[in-house]
Structures are given as C-alpha cells and as structure tokens.
Structure 1
Amino acid sequence: MKLPTQARTVIVGGGIIGASIAYHLTKLGWSDVVLLERGQLTSGTTWHAAGLVNQLRTTHTMTDLCRYGATLFSSLKEETGQETGFRRTGSLPVARTPERLTEIARLISLGKTFGVEAHMLSPAEIKELHPLVDISQVIGGAFIPGDGSTNPIDTTQALVKGARSRGAKVLEGITVTGFGVEEGTIRSVVTDHGAIACDVAVLCAGAWSRDIGKLAGVNVPLYAAEHMYVMTEAHKDIRSNLPVLRDTDGYIYIKEDAGKLLIGSFEPKAKSLPMSKLPGNFQFGELGEDWDHFEQPMANAMQLVPLIEQLGVRHFLNGPESFTPDNKFILGEAPNVRKLYVASGFNSQGILSSAGVGKAMSEWIVEGEPTMDLAELDIARFNNFEINERFLHERISESLGLLYAMHWPHRQFETARGIRETPLYSRLKEKGAVFGTSAGWERANWYARDGVNPVYEYSFERQNWFECVRAEHDATRNSVALFDMSTFGKTFIEGPDAEAELQRICANNMAVAEGKVVYTQMLNSRGGIVADVTFTRLSETRYMMVTAAATQPQDMNWVRRNLRPESRVVMTDVTSGFAVLSIMGPRSRELMQKVSPADFSNEAFPFGTAREIEVGYATALAQRMTFVGELGWELYIPTEFVGQIFDLLVKEGEPLGLQLAGYHALDSLRSEKGYRHFGNDITPGDTPLEAGLQFAVSFKKDADFIGRAALERQKAEGLTKKQAFFRLKDAGPILLHDEPIWRDGSIVGRTTSGAYGYTVGSSVAMGYLPVPSENWAEWLATGKFEIELAGVRCAAQASPRPFYDPENSRIKI
C-alpha cells in the first residue's frame, strides 16, 4: 500500500497497543487512521508476551482499565471473524505466607466493588482446580474465573482487522525518522518513505518509545529489561484449560499451553537492558538464555509443581520489555507537544491492559481530555531527571520485580535513591528521620525513637513506626510539631494577565488582595478535579502556586496548556529556591513569637493570609495555613537561610514540647480532619460538589472558569454521589484505601483513603456513596455500615462531617 500524504491520526507502533487504539478510534468514528510498523505487526515485544489476561490490579484505576480486556477479547472473533485464542481458564493466585494471603484477600475484596467474581480458596480447593500443585507449599489462595489468557499475535490481528474494516490503513516496513512540530503542535510524522501530515500522532512503540520520543523533543521515561520464560515439553498429566497459577511469593506464573507449561518470572532483581545492545532492526529476535538468572524462579516452579522436574525444556525465551521508574503506565498527551499522544511503558502488562488502554486513549484523543481518572498514569507526571539513563538503568532493575513483590503499605523504592535532598536532609537524618521518596525527593516520613530500628519493617498491620508516629501526631494536636515541607512544588505565575488567566483556570476567586492565600481546584470540562492547590497573591502581577511534589509537573502543565496564546504570563519553577518549614499545633503561636518580632495574633495575622516576617537572622514568607487541622504557619525561606532557622526553632521549641514530625503523621492528621488527598479522595472523576469542596468554588465571580458549566448543571440536577467519612468501631484494624463499604448488607462504595486516627482512637477513612432519596445525614446515621478489610467486615460509623473538629475551631484559635 502506498504511503498516504495525509491522515487525521497516525499511530506509530504495530503492537497490540497501537492496534487497540486504531480499533477503538475507528469504533468512535475516526476512520482516517494510519498505523505504521517498522517491521511486521507484533514484531517488537507483543509477539513474545505470555498473554495473561487478569482483571484485578492493586488500584481502582488499574482494575478499571484491565477488566475490560476479558470482555473485548471474548467478543472479537464474533465481530471480526479472526480467532484471538482467548480462553477463560481463570487465574489462581496462591500464597505461601500469611502476608501474601492477606494481600490476595484485599485484592478479592476490591474486586467486589467492580462486580468481579472471585473466591478465596483453601489448599484443598486449590488442588481440585489445579491437581499439579503441591499444596504443602501454599496456605491458601483465590480463584478468579473470568481471567484467562489470549494469543497476543492473533488478538492483535483481530484488532487490526476490526480497525481496517472501518477504514484504517495499516502499513508495515515503515520506519519513523522524525516528527514535524510547529508552534508546539504536531503537524506530521516523517518516515523513510516520506512524511504524513496529520492532526494527531500517537506514539506506542513499546521499548523503543523513549528513543522515538526524543525525535519530537518528548521525554518518555522508560527503559528495557530482560523478561524470561520457558516452555516445557508436553505431558499427559497436563490437562487443558488449567487456571493460570500466580505464585508471587515464588515470583513466578505458570500457564498451560497446548498440553505444555509456560513458566515465567518477575524476579526481585531484573536485568536492565540498554536499547543500544539490540540490533538496529530488532523484530522477532530473542536475547540469549540465562539459566544463572532463571535458576531460582525455575527452582520455585519445581517446588510448587513437582511435575516440572520431570519435564524437558523446549524453549527458553528471553525478550525485551519496557518498564517505567514508578511501575505505572505512560499515557496521555505529551506536555510539550500538543496532539502528540503517548501510550507506552506497560511494565509487561501490555496484553492484559491493551483493551482498556485502547478505549481510554481513543476517548482521550477524540474528546480532548480523559473520560476516566488516568491522573496516576499521565505522562505529564514526570520530572525531567526521570529521563536520565543511569537513573532508569538502576530503577528498572527493581521495577520488574515490583509486579510480584509484596504490595506493602508505604513500601519505598530501594534503588536510585538520594536523587533530591532538601537542605535539611543531614540534620533530619541525625535526628532519626526515616526517609521515603516522592518525585525523587528524600522526605522524612517518620522519626525513629525509643530504640526503634530506623528502617521500615513492613506489614499490613501496625508497622514498626506506629508508636513513633503517635508521638508526632500527639505533639501536633497538643503542643507543637515541626515538619520539613521543602519538597512542596512552588511555581511563580506572573505577568499583567496573571489574574485574568487564573480566574479562567481556577474554580475559586483569584481576584484577592495581596497577601491572601486561596485554596482552589482546577477542573476539566466535566467539572472533575485535575489539581488541588493553593495560590498566594504576592503582588498585583505575581502569584505563587503551591502543590504536592508528586503533582507539580502535572499542575504546571495544566496551567500552561490552558493559558491563552496571547496572554502575558510567565511561569517559573522556584521549588529549589525555597525551603518550607511547617510549624503546627496549639502552641505554634508561642513558638513563632519566640523566634520573630512579628505579630501573630488573630487580628494581625488571620487564617489564609501571608506576611513577610523576620525570623532568626533572615526574612521569610509566613503563611497561616494548615493541612493537619491545627493552628499553624508555613515558612517559605530562601534555602541558604533555612539551616539556622531550623536550629533556632528546635532550640526554642524544646520547652514547648516540640517534636519533629513526618509525612506519616501528616497523613494521619489530615485523615482525621477530613482533608482530601489528591489522587485518592479527589480525582478527575470527582467534582468539588461531590467531594464537599463547594466552598472552594466561586460561582459569584464573572469568569467562565473551566468546568463551571458542568458544575452548574450538577447543582441544578442534583448529586448522584457524595463523600462521607468513616471511623472503625474496633481500634485494631488498619485501613488504607480501596476497601469495600457495606450498608445494611450491600456494597455501596469503596474507601478512597484511610489511616489510623490516633486522636479518635481507630482507623478513619473517606469514600463516596450514592446520594439517597431521604435525608443524607439521617441515611448515614441509621444504616449499618461496615468496611471490608481482606475479606473481614469491620463495623464502622459513617458521618457527613469529619470526626475531628468539624467546626474548624482549632485552626482559628
């Protein structure tokens, strides 16, 4: 077929992801689609995938994406006439340890909120379903009957056939050599056979996406790793349609395939693979066998299924797969090139997610914004350092194994650490800080005390830091605590048009006096929350946007993307220029008065305002804000001055009961107070009205802010869901997130976030519930509420208001 000179959409990459996007775009009526593959379809990484199709993942978003595959793959043959090889054999995750059994039980509980059929099993029941398993090796597991496997090549061909039937053109043997970009927008895809002018381009070239992205100046932070599996000989005892075994404690999976067994691994320490080691035209190639590396997974497989020891190996396959530094997919419109979309970095989950990703990405392309919550997967989340090859090489050796590692609460990355340190890092470490990581920053999560080992000891129960954090929490509630919040993202947005532009982009009123702090959300056209930030008006023409470290790149991208081209506005990331000390608690005013001559009274320094003050030997911008529900100030200090101010605050705070506190205490405190966490409690799928944040929306201002029309429709039509607050009646269990919420024996929702509330004496959580026809508060008070935790229902109290200081009296003292 001759290369067309023009197309509405050009897709780069002929694996299952590119095929799925083409299929779903044409389903939405975009028939002018061209799919380019430099070799043959599926020739990169798709062809050697194991083809597992699982519905349940560890987060709500990932489960939402993956469960669609089982439905689509089972219907493709009827639609296209092309066999896919999809089989609903079910999957059988098994546990060798009690901790793993808890993890599996949590996954099965999450599945209930989606209506996914799944059952916990005893070892004897596992034996019935899979007679080859040596059940002396396991203590239990689960069965998910709707799961299965598919043939990656056949499934890709079926998707391509469906796309072609609706007008898509699929061209093989075409190598992309560049992109035409004008004024920050994609205009063409350049190939070795000529250029194709286009309105939209989609990059989904698997492990090669990083290098191809560079041709357009787009950073795609992914890196390859060697992924290995073996195929055994056939045996009469290997019956057809055995469920797929997933032994994550042994970091292996075992799939029956035409009377043989396929044994694959996600080992703890993988072999990172520089793409430079592959031939230039690597298509259906394989990497060399590495039995030294695969020895332990194979031993684990023989232990679980003893028959394997008797079987010869017919094929050892070793091929490249692409992984990302945070083990999440890369989806969305490139931050710096409009209409260039990326769908890559699938961490060896491309087959099982391909259907959902194709649907979600095609809707994003057609609508111009996501139609579901994809914030955690958005390519805009990355920082520039994450394209660094040394960083990727080290981190990806860990990323592969994280798929089968224990998904512990608060688990921290172990590789590529120490990338970004706050100015106080050494001081905090000397005082017992135990660090976690976010956006590359080393952050003090908790402080070891009373002989506690200053390292994480993970558990689904109370971890070793539990009592240490209690002390930090109690100090914040009863005296004063000091948090190093220097990792906050800080962005100056300034210029003559700053106010007018922010009035359009933000939901709250930005036309405030100098020195006023505004809490606001930024919304998509559906009224969904894409950012949760504060703005401080520093002058008539300058604002400072403060956001979480993890979301700053996305938040900056959203503002930048929505500025009018003619606007006179400049954005500057000043994060590294300012350290932030957060002084919180009922005695914070006393401490501030000891270190500064400024007036910190309510009258002189009301809540929600900012003042420049003298402190120690320097000046700082002090903001009276809180994310813990107590009186307090945040000090924004030029980084070179923060050391001496920190030392002074610690010295003067000691008589007041000052404690250093970290992010785990912050999470506990904000959860008790009902402060929402972006990405959990508020997402692009939730509106401020549903989240109870209507106070941060200004319907009085004249500006037609993004999402206003949607919120006004929602107000007029009424809410269908609303956020509620929960507290367990038993002090023991630890809530996290994504646990089913039951009312009177029926599932009505799931928790969005949870933490132990030290002040209220039990775990607390937030979650959305359907709005009843009767009175909301009465419906919550009269129902029998339970929260399911790893299969066990725990009695809970539901409330329309937070359980700690619902009147906000503490922050105004």
Structure 2
Amino acid sequence: MALPKHAQVVIVGGGIIGVSIAYHLTKLGWRDVVLLERGQLTCGTTWHAAGLVMQLRTTHTMTELCRYGTRLFDELKSETGQDTGFRRTGSLPIARNADRLVEISRLVSLGKSFGVEAHMLSAPEVKEHYPLLDDTHIVGGAFIPGDGQTNPVDSTQALAKGARAGGANIFENVSVTGFEIEQGKIKGVVTDHGTVNCEVAVLCAGAWSRDLGRLAGVNVPLYAAEHMYVTTEADPAIPKDLPVLRDTDGYLYIKEDAGKLLVGAFEPHAKPLPMEKLPNRFEFGELPEDWAQFELPMSKAIQVVPLLQSLGIRHFMNGPESFTPDNKFILGEAPEVKGFYVAAGFNSQGILSAAGVGKALSEWIVNGEPTMDLSEVDIARFHKFQGNRKYLHERISESLGLLYAMHWPHRQFETARPVRETPLFARLKARNAVFGTAAGWERANWFAPEGSRPEYVYSYGRQNWFDVVGEEHCAAREAVALFDLSSFGKTFIEGPDAEAELQRICANDMAVATNKVVYTQMLNSRGGIVADVTFTRLSEDRYMMVTAAAAQAQDLSWVRRNLRVGARVTVTDVTSGFAVLSVMGPRARRHLEAVSTADFSNDAFPFGTAQEIEIGYAKAHALRVTYVGELGWELYLPTEFAGPAFDLLVKEGEPLGMRLAGYHALDSLRSEKGYRHFGHDVTPGDTPLEAGLSFAVSFRKADHFIGRAALEKQQAEGLKRRIVFLRMESSEPILLHDEPILRDGRIVGRTTSAAFGYTLGSSVAQGYVTLPDSDWKSWLSQGSFEVELAGVRHKAICQARPFYDPDNARIRL
C-alpha cells in the first residue's frame, strides 16, 4: 500500500503506545488514521518489555490510567481474535522492613477508593501465595488479585488488528525525517517515502522521542537508560501462574514465564544511555550484558527465592527504556506546536499504562482537551532547561531507581542539582536552610537548628524537621515570619486587548482598578480548574500573573493557547527579574513600618491591593495578600536589590521575634487555613463550585469566559461532590494525601492534601466527598467520620469550613 498524501492524524511510532492510540482513535470514530513505524511493530522497546500489568499506583491519575489495561487486555481476544497473553495471576508486593510495609498498606488503602481489591498479608500468608519464597527475609506484603501479566508483542498485535478493523492504516519500514509546521501548527510529517499532510501528529517514539521532537521544535525531556532482566531455565519446581513478586526493597520483581522465572531490576543507580551509542536502525536490538550492574538485585532475588541459585540463566536481556526527570509520563499537546501531541517517557511502565494512555490521549485529541485530570503528566509542565542533555543524563541515573525506592513523604531529588538558585540562596544556605527543588529552583523547605546537619531524615511519621517547622509555623501565627518566595512564576500580560482577553480566559472579573489584586481560576470547557493564580493590575494595559513555580509553564501555555488570533497582547515571563519576599504574621505591619516610610494601615493599604513602596534603598511592589492566613505582604523587587532588602528585614525583624520560614511551614499554615493547592485540592477534574471557590467566579460579568456554560449547568443541576475540611481527633496520625474518607464506616471520598496543623494540634486535610441527596450540611454534622491511614482508621472531625479563622478576620487585622 502506498503512503497517502494526507491523513487526519499521523502517529509516529509503532510500539504498544502508538498502536493503542490508533486503536482508541478508531473507537471514537476517527477513520483517517495513519501510523508510521521505521522498522516493524514493537521493534524498539515494546518487544523486550516484561509485560507486567498492575493497577495501583501512587496517585489518583496514575491509578486511573493503569487500571483500565487489566480490563482491555482481557477483552481484546474476543474482539479481535488475537490472543494478548494476558493472565490474571495477581501481584505480591512484599516488604523487608516496617517502613515499606507502611508504604504498601497506604497503597492498599488508596485502592479501596477505586474499588481495587487488595489484601494485606503476613509473611507466612505471602508464602502461601508464593511457595518458592523464603519468608524469613520479609515482614509482610499484600496481594492484589486483579493484577497480572501480558505478552507485549501479542497485545500490540491485538491492538493493531483492532485499529485496522476500525479503519487505521499502519505502515512499517517508514522513517520520519522531519515535520512541516506553518504558523505554529502542524501541517505534515516528512518521511523517507514522502510527506503526509495532517491536522494532528502524535509522537510516540519511545526513547527516540526527544530527538524527533527537536525536529519540530518541541521539548520532550526524556532520556534512555539500560534496563535489564534475566530469564532462567525452566524447572518443574516452578508452579504455574505464580503471582508477580515485587520486592522493591531488593530493587527487583520476579514473574513466572512458561515454567521459567524472569527476574527484572530497578537498581538504585542506573546506567544512562546516550542515544548516539545506538545504531541508526536499532530494531529488536539488545545491549551488552552487564553482570556488575545486575549483581545487586540478583543477589537480593536469591535471598527471597533461593531456587534461583540452582537455576541456569537462559537469557540476559538488556535494552533501552526511556525515563523522565520527574518519573511521570509525558502526555498531551506540545506548547510549541498546535496539533502536535506527545505520548512518551513511560519510565518502564508503558505496557501497564498503554491501554489507559491510548484512551486518554485519544479523547484529548478528539475533544480538544483532556476528559480527565492529566495535569501531572501534561507535557506543558516542563521548562526548557529540562531538555538539557547533561541535566537529563544525571537525573535519569536516579529516576530509574526511584521507581522502587521508598516513596518517602517530601523526598527530594539528589541528582542534577542545583539548577536554579534564587537571589537569596547563599544567604539562606548560610542560615542552615535545607533545600528542596521545584521546577529546578532550590527553595528553602526548612531551617535546621544551629549546630545540626541541614539534611532530611525521612520517615512516614514525624520527620526530623517536625519540631523546627512547628516553630516557624508559630512565628507566622504569633509574631512574624519571612519567606523567600522568589521561585513564584511572574508573567506580564500586557497590551490594548489585555483586559478583554483575560476577561474571557479567567473566571473572575478582571476589569478592576489599577493596583487591585484578583484571585481567579482559569477553566477548561467542562469548568475544570486548569490554573489557580492571582493577577495584579499594574496599569490600564498591564497585568502581572503570579503562579506556583511547578505550575507556571502550564499556566503560561494555557494563556498563550487561548489568546484570540490577532489579539494585541504580549505575554512575557519575568520570573528571573523579580525576587519575592513574603512578610507574614500579626506583627507584619510593624515589621514593614520599620523598613519603609509607606503607610501600611488598613485604610491606606487594604487587603487585596498593591502599591509601589520604598524599602531600604530599593523600590518594590507590595501586594497585600496571604497564603498563610495572617496579616501580611508579598514584596516584589528587582533581583539585584533582594539581598540588601533581605538583610534589612532580618535586622529589623529580630526585635519582633521574626523567624525565617520555609515551604514546609507554608504548607502547614495554608492547610490549617484551608487554602487550596493546585495539583492536589484543585485540578482540571474539579470545578470552582465543587472546590468551594465560587467567590472567585464572576457570573455578573457579561463576558462568556471559558467554562462558564459548564458552571451554570452545574449550578442548575446541583453538586454531586464537593470539598470538605478534616481535622484528626488525635495528634498522632500524620496525614499526607489520598487517604480514604469514611462516614459511618463507608468510603465517601479521599483526602487531596494534608499537613500537621501546629496551631490546631493535629493533622488537617482537605478532600472531596460524594454528596447525598439530602441536606449535605446535616449529613456532615450527623455522621461519624474517619480517615484510613495505612490500613488503620482514625476518627476525624469533618466540616464545610476551614478550622482556622474561617471568617478571615486575621488577614484584615
């Protein structure tokens, strides 16, 4: 068959991801689908994948993407006549220590929120499921009966057969050499057999996606690593249909494979693989054996399954797999080119996620936006620097191992740092700051006491920073705290049409007076929250948008994508030009009066306004806003003035009991106050009405802002879910997020974020619950609520308003 001159959509890459997208597009009614593969289907990475199919992941989105595969792979044979090789053998995550058992039990609890069957097991009970196990090395585990394994090649062929039946055309031995782009939109895919014009292109080329993306000017931050497993000789002592054993403490998994055992590794220090080391036509290729690299996980495997010591090795498989700098997938429409989608960087989870990814991305393409919350895997989250080769090479050496490392709360990356430093980095470091990283920024998370080492000691309970963060928290509540928030994303949106465009893009009323601060959300067409930001109107035709560092790239992309053609608006990222010092607490006014001649009284400087002030020898824009729930101001000043201004604030703050505070205290303070956190409490899957943010939506303005119709429909029909606030009755439990919420013993929702509330004396959380048909406030007050933490239920108080200062009196002191 000759390559067509035109197709509605061209998919680049014939692994299981690309074929799944082709299959699901045809299921949605798209028939003009072309898939191009440079060799044969599955010849890059798919063919050598282990084929594990697991349901439970560490987040809501990842679980949703992965659990669909266990159903689809089971159904494809009856639909297509092609066996996928899928078997529901179940999986057995095991723990060699108590901390890992907590991690597994948290995962099992999360599964209850999704209806995924999972059971905690003692060590002897694990052995009953896995007779080959030496259970003296473990303390327990879990059994997830719905998990299993599939044959990656057969599954891909089944999807391909289904895609062809739906009208898709698949071309093998066709190499993509470039892309045609016109006015920022994809126009065609260039190949060694000619150009195929198209409206949509989808890049699914696995480890080769970074280099191919560059041909279109698209940043795809992924990097290959050598990924290894061995297959033993067959032995009659190996039972058929053993569950997949996942020994993450040993950096390994073991699956039964036709009477043999396959032992795979996620070693803690991986071997990054520059793509130039591979031949141009790397098809069904293998890398050299590396027993030195594989020795650690293999020795651990022999500990738990002693039979391995007597089995011969039939094959040592070493192939390239692609990994991302944050261990999350890369999905979605590229910010640089309209109509250019990417599905890559699956961190050795491509088989188990292929079905869900194919469905989710196909729906995104057909509908023009995601139909579920995909913000954590959206390609728009990346910054340009994350495509840097040195950065990726170093980070991926850590990324692979982190998949099986302990998923400690607040765990920080150790490699490829530092990347970005705020102007105050050296000053904070000299004061014993302990830094975390977000969007490459080094940020002070907490300040270690004098004489102690500024480093984390991780645990699932009270970590080594617990008490000192409590002191930082209390300073903000009782005196004054100084935060360096310079990593905030700052963007100027300016021009004659700035107000008109923002009125359409933002839910709140943007037609405000100069120096007014507006808190607003930007919504998708379903009313879901794609951005949670503030705008300050600096002049008639200039606004400053402020957003969290981790969300800035996505927020910037959303604004640019939704500007009308010909709009007289300029969008400029000015983040690096401005430092941000946040002065928060009941003594904040006295603190600022000591360093500035400005009038900070309520009458002269009301809440939600901005002014240009003098501070020391500098001038700054002061915004009277808060993310901690206290009186306070954020000071935006050019970076070169930040150091002296900081020194002055520190000097004048000492008599007032001022403390330097970090992001852990910020999170504790905002959680206590009930302020939402984007990516947790508010996402594209949540509307402002459900999130209790209707005050930030202006239905009075005449403009038909994006998402307005969906919100009006939701208003008319009534809410089916909404956010609630929880406080634990006991001070012992340390909540994190994604814990089941129970009412009268029945699961009604899950937490979305949590922290210890030092003022309240216990953990506080936010979360969404399914609403009853009756009056929901009575339902709240009359129910008995609990939160399940690692399998244990703890009593909680649940209410519709935040527990700390719900009437906002303190921010207006």
| TM-score band w.r.t. shorter chain | over 0.9
1:789 maps to 789
Query: SS at 1:507's partner residue?
Result: coil
1:591 maps to 591
1:94 maps to 94
1:453 maps to 453
* Residues 167-223 of structure 1, C-alpha deviations (whole Å, 9 max, x = no match): 110000000011111011111111000011111110000000001111111110000
Mapping of residues 129-148 of structure 1, within 5 Å: 129-148=129-148
CA shift, 1:452, in A, is 4.0
Runs of 4+ in 1 over 6 A off after TM superposition: none
Indicate if the aligned counterparts of 2:31 and 2:167 stay in contact, CA closer than 8 A: yes
Provide the identity percentage: 74
CA shift, 1:727, in A, is 0.3
Query: SS at 2:550's partner residue?
Result: coil
CA shift, 1:774, in A, is 2.5
1:543 maps to 543
* Residues 456-505 of structure 1, C-alpha deviations (whole Å, 9 max, x = no match): 00000000000010000000000000000000000000000000000000
Query: SS at 1:351's partner residue?
Result: helix
Q: Distance in 1 between matches of 2:178 and 2:296?
A: 43
Q: Distance in 1 between matches of 2:165 and 2:645?
A: 68
Q: Distance in 1 between matches of 2:614 and 2:368?
A: 48
Q: Distance in 1 between matches of 2:607 and 2:806?
A: 17
Indicate if the aligned counterparts of 1:737 and 1:753 stay in contact, CA closer than 8 A: yes
Q: Distance in 1 between matches of 2:437 and 2:214?
A: 27
1:238 maps to 238
Indicate if the aligned counterparts of 1:398 and 1:415 stay in contact, CA closer than 8 A: yes
1:674 maps to 674
Indicate if the aligned counterparts of 1:776 and 1:800 stay in contact, CA closer than 8 A: no
Q: Distance in 2 between matches of 1:411 and 1:465?
A: 13
2:291 maps to 291
Q: Distance in 2 between matches of 1:485 and 1:323?
A: 30
Q: Distance in 2 between matches of 1:561 and 1:502?
A: 12
Q: Distance in 1 between matches of 2:451 and 2:373?
A: 43
2:811 maps to 811
1:326 maps to 326
* Residues 309-334 of structure 1, C-alpha deviations (whole Å, 9 max, x = no match): 00010000000000000100000001
| Equivalent AA in structure 2 for residue 11 of structure 1 | I
Give ranges in structure 2 of 5+ residues lacking alignment: none
1:767 maps to 767
CA shift, 1:453, in A, is 2.9
Indicate if the aligned counterparts of 2:186 and 2:201 stay in contact, CA closer than 8 A: yes
Q: Distance in 2 between matches of 1:620 and 1:520?
A: 23
CA shift, 1:565, in A, is 1.0
Q: Distance in 1 between matches of 2:769 and 2:289?
A: 52
Q: Distance in 2 between matches of 1:285 and 1:417?
A: 33
| Equivalent AA in structure 2 for residue 733 of structure 1 | P
Q: Distance in 2 between matches of 1:789 and 1:200?
A: 44
Indicate if the aligned counterparts of 2:432 and 2:450 stay in contact, CA closer than 8 A: no
2:256 maps to 256
Indicate if the aligned counterparts of 1:240 and 1:258 stay in contact, CA closer than 8 A: yes
CA RMSD, Structure 1 to Structure 2 (Å): 0.6
Indicate if the aligned counterparts of 1:452 and 1:464 stay in contact, CA closer than 8 A: no
Q: Distance in 2 between matches of 1:48 and 1:77?
A: 21
Query: SS at 1:87's partner residue?
Result: coil
Indicate if the aligned counterparts of 2:581 and 2:636 stay in contact, CA closer than 8 A: yes
1:664 maps to 664
1:568 maps to 568
Q: Distance in 2 between matches of 1:678 and 1:172?
A: 43
| Equivalent AA in structure 2 for residue 529 of structure 1 | I
| Equivalent AA in structure 2 for residue 6 of structure 1 | H
CA shift, 1:775, in A, is 2.4
* Residues 215-239 of structure 1, C-alpha deviations (whole Å, 9 max, x = no match): 1111100000000000001111101
CA shift, 1:398, in A, is 0.4
Query: SS at 1:595's partner residue?
Result: coil
1:641 maps to 641
Point out the more displaced range, 130-139 or 777-786: 777-786
Mapping of residues 336-735 of structure 1, within 5 Å: 336-449=336-449, 451-735=451-735
Q: Distance in 2 between matches of 1:605 and 1:132?
A: 72
Query: SS at 2:732's partner residue?
Result: coil
Indicate if the aligned counterparts of 2:439 and 2:549 stay in contact, CA closer than 8 A: yes
Q: Distance in 2 between matches of 1:419 and 1:241?
A: 47
Q: Distance in 1 between matches of 2:17 and 2:62?
A: 16
CA shift, 1:451, in A, is 4.6
2:311 maps to 311
Indicate if the aligned counterparts of 1:224 and 1:275 stay in contact, CA closer than 8 A: yes
| Equivalent AA in structure 2 for residue 687 of structure 1 | T
- TM (norm. structure 1) is 1.00
Indicate if the aligned counterparts of 1:202 and 1:340 stay in contact, CA closer than 8 A: yes
1:229 maps to 229
CA shift, 1:777, in A, is 2.1
Q: Distance in 2 between matches of 1:543 and 1:283?
A: 52
CA shift, 1:336, in A, is 1.0
Q: Distance in 1 between matches of 2:581 and 2:709?
A: 39
1:29 maps to 29
Q: Distance in 1 between matches of 2:150 and 2:23?
A: 17
Q: Distance in 1 between matches of 2:642 and 2:508?
A: 32
Indicate if the aligned counterparts of 1:302 and 1:308 stay in contact, CA closer than 8 A: yes
Q: Distance in 2 between matches of 1:667 and 1:153?
A: 46
Mapping of residues 16-55 of structure 1, within 5 Å: 16-55=16-55
Q: Distance in 2 between matches of 1:29 and 1:305?
A: 49
Indicate if the aligned counterparts of 2:516 and 2:610 stay in contact, CA closer than 8 A: yes
| Equivalent AA in structure 1 for residue 612 of structure 2 | E
CA shift, 1:776, in A, is 2.2
* Residues 257-311 of structure 1, C-alpha deviations (whole Å, 9 max, x = no match): 0000000000110000000000000010100000011011110000010000000
Q: Distance in 1 between matches of 2:694 and 2:355?
A: 36
Indicate if the aligned counterparts of 2:780 and 2:798 stay in contact, CA closer than 8 A: yes
Q: Distance in 1 between matches of 2:488 and 2:504?
A: 24
Mapping of residues 733-752 of structure 1, within 5 Å: 733-752=733-752
1:756 maps to 756
Query: SS at 1:462's partner residue?
Result: coil
CA shift, 1:782, in A, is 1.0
Mapping of residues 182-193 of structure 1, within 5 Å: 182-193=182-193
| Equivalent AA in structure 1 for residue 362 of structure 2 | S
Indicate if the aligned counterparts of 1:533 and 1:545 stay in contact, CA closer than 8 A: yes
| Equivalent AA in structure 2 for residue 76 of structure 1 | L
Query: SS at 2:565's partner residue?
Result: coil
1:13 maps to 13
Query: SS at 2:395's partner residue?
Result: helix
Q: Distance in 2 between matches of 1:22 and 1:776?
A: 44
Give ranges in structure 1 of 5+ residues lacking alignment: none
Q: Distance in 2 between matches of 1:620 and 1:671?
A: 29
* Residues 684-731 of structure 1, C-alpha deviations (whole Å, 9 max, x = no match): 000000000000000001111000000000111110001000000010
Indicate if the aligned counterparts of 2:735 and 2:789 stay in contact, CA closer than 8 A: yes
Query: SS at 1:397's partner residue?
Result: helix
CA shift, 1:450, in A, is 5.7
| Equivalent AA in structure 2 for residue 754 of structure 1 | A
| Equivalent AA in structure 2 for residue 460 of structure 1 | Y
| Equivalent AA in structure 2 for residue 265 of structure 1 | A
Query: SS at 2:579's partner residue?
Result: strand
CA shift, 1:449, in A, is 1.2
Indicate if the aligned counterparts of 1:232 and 1:314 stay in contact, CA closer than 8 A: yes
| Equivalent AA in structure 1 for residue 628 of structure 2 | V
1:123 maps to 123
